[in-house]
C-alpha cells in the first residue's frame, strides 16, 4: 500500500466520518511516516467486532509504512467513558483491569505488528496514575472550558438523561485529552483515530495540544458499526461478538459474518477486509449478480477469521 494516497483509499472505503482539516491530514500522511493511535478501554477481557475496525485501521497504516500505537486504557477504564451510554459503567478494580489488559494485548498483537520500532502497545495507567489531582486541574483542566465539554453531544445526552452524569465520567474527556498530549510528547503521535461516538473526546486532545504546544495535530473518526436493531455494536450494548475464541469461537465468528445481509456485504468488505478496493468492487459486483451463492459473505467471513484467529 506504500506510495498510495491512504486517505483517498479510506475515503473510498467510507471509513472517514469526521476529521480535522482534511487537506492537512492528507499532507501529513503523504509526507510520513507518521505515528497514530487508537485506544480502547479494557472494560472486558476481550475486544469485540466494533474494536476490530480500529485494529484494522492501525494495520492499514502499518502496511503503508506508518507506526501504529495501540492504547489499552487501564486508567480511563477505571473512570468509564460516557459516550454512547445512558447509564454509568461499573468501575473496575486493579486486578480485573490487569487481567483484561493482558488479554487485550494478546488480541491486539495478532493483528498489528508490535515491537522492533514497527508498532507500540501502551497502557495509559503508566503515565496517568502518578499524576496528582492538582496536576490534572492545573495542567489539563485549565486549558479546557466547561462550555466546550457541555457542547459535546455525548455529554449533552447524559446531562439531560434520567440518570445524569457523574463528575467521574465528566472528567473522562480530560484524561483522554491528556493521553493524546502524552503520546504526542513521548511517541511523536500526530493522528488519533476512533469511532464517531468518540469524536468529542478526540477533538479534546487536538485542542489541548494546540493550546499547550502551539502545534496542530490531526484526527479522524469512522462511522459507527451498528447491530441489526440500530444500536451500537459493542461489549455492553447490541450484539456481543468477541475476538476471544473462548467467548466467540472462530466458527461462530465466521457464522456471524456469513449472515451479513446482502445489502451490507460491500460496505462490510470495505471496512473489514485488507483486499484492495478494486478487488472488493469486483467481489461486490459478482455477489450482486448471484447473491444466492453468497460469494461476498464467504470472502468477508474468511478474511475476518483469518485476520483475528490465523489461517489455520
Q: E strands along the chain, which residues?
A: 18-19, 35-40, 67-72, 120-123, 189-195, 218-222
- Confidence class for position 236, pLDDT limits 50, 70, 90: very low
- Confidence class for position 6, pLDDT limits 50, 70, 90: very high
Q: What is the pLDDT of residue 2?
A: 42
The least confident of 42-46, 75-79, 100-104, 164-168 is 75-79
The C-alpha R_g of the chain, in whole angstroms, comes to: 19
pTM of the model: 0.90
pLDDT digits (tens, 9 = 90+) for 159-178: 888 888 888 888 888 999 99
What integer best gives the mean pLDDT of the chain? 89
Q: What is the pLDDT of residue 3?
A: 44
Q: What is the pLDDT of residue 222?
A: 97
Q: Residue 194: what are its φ and ψ, rounded to 5°?
A: 180, 175
Nearest to 70 by CA among 56, 80, 84: 56
Q: What is the pLDDT of residue 235?
A: 44
Q: What is the pLDDT of residue 105?
A: 85
pLDDT digits (tens, 9 = 90+) for 134-151: 999 999 999 999 998 888
Nearest to 301 by CA among 12, 195, 290, 287: 287
Cα gap 174→207, rounded to integer Å = 11
Cα gap 206→203, rounded to integer Å = 5
Q: What is the pLDDT of residue 277?
A: 97
Q: What is the pLDDT of residue 1?
A: 43
The least confident of 203-207, 240-244, 276-280 is 240-244
| Alpha carbon distances (Å) from 255 to 246, 250, 282, 302, 304 | 15, 9, 23, 10, 11
Is a pLDDT exceeding 70 seen at residue 238?
no
- Confidence class for position 215, pLDDT limits 50, 70, 90: very high
Work out the average pLDDT over 245-267: 95
Amino acid at each position: 500500500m506504500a506510495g498510495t494516497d491512504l486517505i483517498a483509499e479510506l475515503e473510498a472505503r467510507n471509513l472517514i466520518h469526521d476529521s480535522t482539516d482534511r487537506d492537512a491530514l492528507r499532507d501529513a500522511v503523504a509526507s510520513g511516516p507518521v505515528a497514530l493511535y487508537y485506544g480502547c478501554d479494557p472494560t472486558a477481557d476481550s475486544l469485540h467486532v466494533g474494536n476490530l475496525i480500529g485494529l484494522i485501521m492501525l494495520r492499514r497504516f502499518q502496511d503503508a509504512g506508518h507506526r501504529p500505537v495501540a492504547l489499552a486504557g487501564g486508567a480511563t477504564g477505571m473512570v468509564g467513558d460516557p459516550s454512547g451510554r445512558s447509564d454509568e459503567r461499573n468501575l473496575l478494580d486493579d486486578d480485573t483491569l490487569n487481567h483484561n489488559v493482558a488479554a487485550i494485548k494478546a488480541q491486539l498483537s495478532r493483528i498489528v505488528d508490535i515491537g522492533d520500532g514497527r508498532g507500540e502497545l501502551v497502557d495509559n495507567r503508566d503515565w496517568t496514575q502518578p499524576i496528582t489531582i492538582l496536576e490534572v486541574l492545573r495542567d489539563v483542566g485549565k486549558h479546557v472550558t466547561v462550555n466546550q465539554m457541555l457542547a459535546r453531544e455525548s455529554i449533552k445526552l447524559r446531562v439531560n438523561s434520567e440518570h445524569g452524569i457523574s463528575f467521574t465520567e465528566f472528567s473522562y474527556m480530560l484524561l483522554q485529552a491528556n493521553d493524546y498530549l502524552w503520546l504526542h510528547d513521548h511517541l511523536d503521535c500526530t493522528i488519533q483515530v476512533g469511532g464517531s461516538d468518540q469524536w468529542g473526546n478526540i477533538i479534546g486532545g487536538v485542542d489541548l495540544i494546540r493550546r499547550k504546544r502551539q502545534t496542530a495535530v490531526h484526527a479522524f473518526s469512522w462511522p459507527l458499526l451498528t447491530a441489526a436493531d440500530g444500536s451500537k455494536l459493542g461489549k455492553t450494548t447490541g450484539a456481543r461478538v468477541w475476538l476471544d475464541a473462548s467467548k466467540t469461537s472462530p466458527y461462530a465468528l465466521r457464522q456471524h459474518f456469513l449472515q451479513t445481509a446482502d445489502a451490507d456485504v460491500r460496505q462490510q468488505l470495505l471496512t473489514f477486509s485488507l483486499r484492495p478496493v478494486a478487488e472488493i468492487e469486483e467481489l461486490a459486483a459478482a455477489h450482486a449478480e448471484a447473491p444466492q451463492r453468497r460469494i461476498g459473505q464467504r470472502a468477508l467471513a474468511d478474511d475476518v477469521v483469518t485476520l483475528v484467529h490465523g489461517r489455520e
